[in-house]
Structure 1
Amino acid sequence: MELIIGKLIMLKCKHHKMLVASLCFFIAPVFFFSSFTHAENVTEIVTVNRSISSSQTILGSTVVPYREITVTAQTPGKITAIGGEVGTGFTKGAMLAKVDDAQLLAKRNTLWAQITSAQAALKNSQAQHQREIISPKSKSINGMPGMGLPSMMDIFMTRPLYDMMGNSDQGYNRYSDLVNSATGVSQAESQVMMAWSQLNELNTKIKDTVSVAPFEGIIMSKMVEVGDAVQPGQPLMKFGFIKYLRLQADVPSMLVSSLVKGMSVPVRISNKNSTIAKVSQIYPIADPSRHTVVVKFDLPIGVSAAPGMYAEIFLPDTTPGGNSVITIPKTALIPGRSLPTVLVADEETKTSSLRLIRVGVTQSDGLVSVVSGLKVGERVINNPPPGASSGWYPKDSAVL
């Protein structure tokens, strides 16, 4: 009996050891994987380094219209009409917006009255001048009564005697009367011209109350609505020609030398549509603060894109010095942000600051090239949490 009980105990122990071994076999990988994942996602501060780059550099760009203007108000007043909503198409010369012109129209009626009065005064001045030429005042015999006899005595005796004595000069008096009447005509003509000039100026202001499309296009955005009061120079809307589209990119100055007008480069729009764009314009100057040059690329007609979309441009990397570029771990990019952003660490103050960067191609070793925004030797936080902002600093982090 004791032998049988002993065998049962030994068998139970064997089963217990097998059960423990089995549990260890299944649990060990779980702990290993958990510890490995934790080690892989640990937050650390890494140094920005330089390494060998790929043969292409990826630049972010924006789809823009072939031509775009900002329509502004030319006269003060209230908006009485807008040609359409955002996306509405217009032909050249069509009305885009209109400002109230009632006050200007009333002033134009006043100017018309001034023109009529000035023209009447001019007509009278011309008649007086003609009368002075044909029937001079200085030879008129209607100045005194008596059947004209006293006037004739004055003309044939008194006035010649005055001229002989040097007290009068009939010729000069005649010249003075002609100049006086001619001056009246000139002044009347000036009044008419002034009134017409004021009317033309007012008509220009009335014309400026209506904003028209300078070319075929669509309304891209509106800044005002009907009833809003505007002042001269205030933006009303953005108007663009989108039949042809372009890409606009800020290219680092070290890469501009590899581009020439008419050169074709591959592009990818919104991470979906891949096509070829052609270099159409390279600005002759660079931004002194960002050290970039604006370059525009023409997209093919009919490409599936719209103004404002994000696009990537693949440029050949011809940087001298072995194609070495600045790199950081791809995991250093803050997740959840639309633009590439990193946290630059300040290990003295234990704080950080957000910085937008321009990234290039992703390397095979998990690194991503940085075209601009960081310098070699700067310190960035690797594996930051989603939504991290300036000032965030890991409490316990490894320093590499």
Structure 2
Amino acid sequence: MPHTKPLLISILACIFSFGPLTVQADQAYQIMKVKRELIPLTIDIAGTVAARKTVQLTAQIPGRIKRIAGQEGDRFSRGNELISIDDSALRAKLDAAVAQRDAALASMRNANVQLYREVRSPQSTAGSAAPGGMGMPSMMDQAFTNPMQNMMGMRNRGAERHSDVVNRQTQVAQANTQYKQAEAQIKEIQASLRDARSIAPFNGVIESVNVEVGDTVQPGQQLLVYSETSGFQVLTDVPVRLRPGLSEGMSLEVRLDGADPVIYARISRIFPVADRTQHTVHFELDLPGNTVTTVGQYAEVSVPDLSTRQNSNLVIPNSAVRKKGGLPLVFVVDAKGFTKLRVVRLGEAANAGNTVVLSGIREGDLLINNPPPGLRAGTQVMAPAESAQAPNNNQ
């Protein structure tokens, strides 16, 4: 009993300190009815802050590191060269491939000329070279011997000419193939030359560098990690039983390590398949753009647990609560439209801007939200007929 007297004295002092009764019926007030709401149980899940977009640049060709554009924390624009590998050997191969292409082009021109000559001046009809003079023996062969051999079936001049033409056409095709092979080799070397340079795919910052100038690298070896810093995400894994309470676009409470205020982050992606060993589902939350954080920072995400039974609680806005002498007070409106002060006992935060009330008011009571400065107990804020639907306020 002695312990309750100081509390009663404090409550009475808080109530009567608001002064005598006044009438302010001409002023507009935000009057709301106390209701019960289902407050879902939440479980805090550990997460990690990460950049919204991160790429790991790896070596595509073997070679020696020639240049690194910066170090950890340096910012670059899209298209800037981040790291390069010595390409002197590739450029030597490119020069050799260009020379092979030029030689193939010359062979292709010669083959076309020889084919044209075979068509216009067939070698199969030419006689053997005669020693001096007017070449009379050759002329006799062309005029009498060759036709007689062809007539007697000893030779077939048409087949010989066809064979010569096909031979020239084959030479043309071979020269054309050599030219295409040289062109393909040049394109392959040029692609390797492009792979010798790692280009920034977007505006961002170097997160980590894993090599030094002069290091010898092999294809697939990680060179550096490059991240976009225009926005951050929280990556976390939740138990499968909590998955039904989550959906893309849903906002969840996030607490960053070392930061007091609660941040509301939106779920941007939920992986469709659960981890078979951990039995968890991976999902990503986008932090607001003005969030001050860094990659790798620890975070806690409050995830609703729909698998547990939910209890209904009285919920009021935080803006309806006023404190006097350390006691939380609210203005209620009775059946006659007059304000009364009630001391309430508050519970945990319900959701954005709301708090659970454990005692002090009842469901259906009328409260004044955002009470203006100077409002006192006993002020008439509404007509009696308007407050007649709140019978509990008389108590």
TM-score norm. by structure 1 comes to: 0.65
CA contact 2:65–2:216 (8 Å) conserved in 1: yes
Of the three residues 53, 62, 66, the one matched with 1:76 is 62
Secondary structure of the residue aligned to 2:245 is: coil
Of the three residues 269, 272, 275, the one matched with 1:281 is 269
Secondary structure of the residue aligned to 1:214 is: coil
Query: What does 1:92-107 align with in structure 2 at a 5 Å threshold?
Result: 92-107=78-93
Secondary structure of the residue aligned to 1:307 is: coil
Secondary structure of the residue aligned to 1:154 is: helix
Q: Any idea what the Cα deviations from partners look like across 1:373-398, whole Å, max 9, x if unmatched?
A: xxxxxxxxxxxxxxxxxxxxxxxxxx
1:60 aligns with 2:41: no
1:123 aligns with 2:114: no
Map of 2:8 onto structure 1? none
Secondary structure of the residue aligned to 2:109 is: helix
Secondary structure of the residue aligned to 2:230 is: strand
1:308 aligns with 2:296: yes
Q: Distance in 1 between matches of 2:155 and 2:139?
A: 17
CA contact 1:64–1:248 (8 Å) conserved in 2: yes
Per the TM alignment, residue 54 of structure 1 is displaced from its structure 2 partner at its CA by: 8.3
From the two aligned structures, give the one with the greater helix fraction.
1
Map of 1:215 onto structure 2? 202
Per the TM alignment, residue 55 of structure 1 is displaced from its structure 2 partner at its CA by: 2.1
1:165 aligns with 2:152: yes
Secondary structure of the residue aligned to 2:90 is: helix
Map of 1:264 onto structure 2? 251
Per the TM alignment, residue 142 of structure 1 is displaced from its structure 2 partner at its CA by: 6.4
Q: Any idea what the Cα deviations from partners look like across 1:153-209, whole Å, max 9, x if unmatched?
A: 111211111111111111111111100111111111111111111111111111111
CA contact 1:141–1:148 (8 Å) conserved in 2: no
Query: What does 1:19-34 align with in structure 2 at a 5 Å threshold?
Result: none
CA contact 2:40–2:306 (8 Å) conserved in 1: no
Instruction: Report the AA paired with residue 292 of structure 1.
Output: T
Map of 1:291 onto structure 2? 279
Instruction: Report the AA paired with residue 167 of structure 2.
Output: N
Q: Distance in 1 between matches of 2:310 and 2:292?
A: 37
Per the TM alignment, residue 321 of structure 1 is displaced from its structure 2 partner at its CA by: 5.7
Q: Distance in 2 between matches of 1:56 and 1:264?
A: 13
CA contact 2:125–2:157 (8 Å) conserved in 1: no
Map of 2:169 onto structure 1? 182
TM-score norm. by structure 2 comes to: 0.66
Work out the percentage of aligned pairs sharing the same amino acid. 39
How many residues are matched? 272
Map of 1:192 onto structure 2? 179
User: Which runs of no fewer than 5 residues in structure 2 stay unpaired?
Assistant: 1-38, 312-347, 349-395
Task: Sort the Cα spacing of 1:322 and 1:266 in 2 relative to 1 into closer, same or farther, 3 A.
Answer: closer
Q: Any idea what the Cα deviations from partners look like across 1:301-332, whole Å, max 9, x if unmatched?
A: 12111111111111222123679xxxxxxxxx
